[in-house]
A = this chain, B = another copy of it.
Amino acid sequence: MNREESSILANLGRYYSLGDDDRELLLDLEQKSYAASDKETLWRAGARVDKLYTIKSGWACTFRHNFDGLRQVVDILLPGDIIGLRDFTFKRHLSEARMITRGTVCAFPYHKIIDIIETSTPLTIALFSSIARQEAILTERMLNTIHRSARSRIAHFVLETYTRLNKVRATELENFFLPISQQMLGEILGISYVHINRSLMAMERDNLLKKHRRHIEVIDQAKLFEEADFDDEYLSDDLNGLREYLKLSVS
């Protein structure tokens, strides 16, 4: 099984090693894979929730429109993530889902999540963990949005995304793939793209980092961590002894 086919296993399996039955349940979600193009819309806000997606490769996001036409990105989704996990108990999607890059995604009926809940306690806990970590990302972003400067928020986002990427595949902080335009960075962090640019320029002048179109160079890692006040606890894979409680084999 190559890397591309195992993203969802790698993601939900990182909390503990999965049994064969669980692996099959997950792979069942990826029966029909599909090549999605850059900026392709997967669903629109207000649409009935029917299909969800797993990401085999590529990046996606969900966002909402404001009354004034601005967009606010809610989450960034990486290979192995399930798009719309937070939506499956809702009748309608609250936000729009769209690819950030081209990639391979797999659509599956939302009620397959229920099959998982009925069949596998470990996988259900993995789903809970996944949703809880997504919520933690949101919480963290809210804290940053409220209390930190634009510059600090950018630093935090870079480190967060690096940390998440590094859980999917080995990633070098000093230079990694980050296909996020300055405009989108603004839509994620809630900062105007003009001010994003001002901040990035300043960070470059200060020899902190340099953002290129599709990747980023981190020049002074220590300083970046300091400015971001970054603590990765909220992304931790540590399952609080649930492994032992479930008497599962540990990899």
Contacts and interface: CB of A to CB of B under 8 A. Distances in A.
Contacts of A70: 147
A135 B89 contact: no
A118 interface: yes
Interface in A123-143: 124-125, 127-129, 131-132, 134-136, 138-139, 141-143
Say how many copies of this protein the assembly contains.
2
Interface stretch (A199-207, A211-219, A232-240): A232-240
A190 B49 CA distance: 32
A250 interface: no
B240 A89 contact: yes
Contact of A141 (B91, B142, B233, B246): B142
Interface of A: 15, 48-49, 64, 66-68, 70, 72, 74, 86-92, 94-95, 110-111, 114, 117-118, 121, 124-125, 127-129, 131-132, 134-136, 138-139, 141-143, 145-147, 190, 229, 233-234, 236, 238-242, 245-246
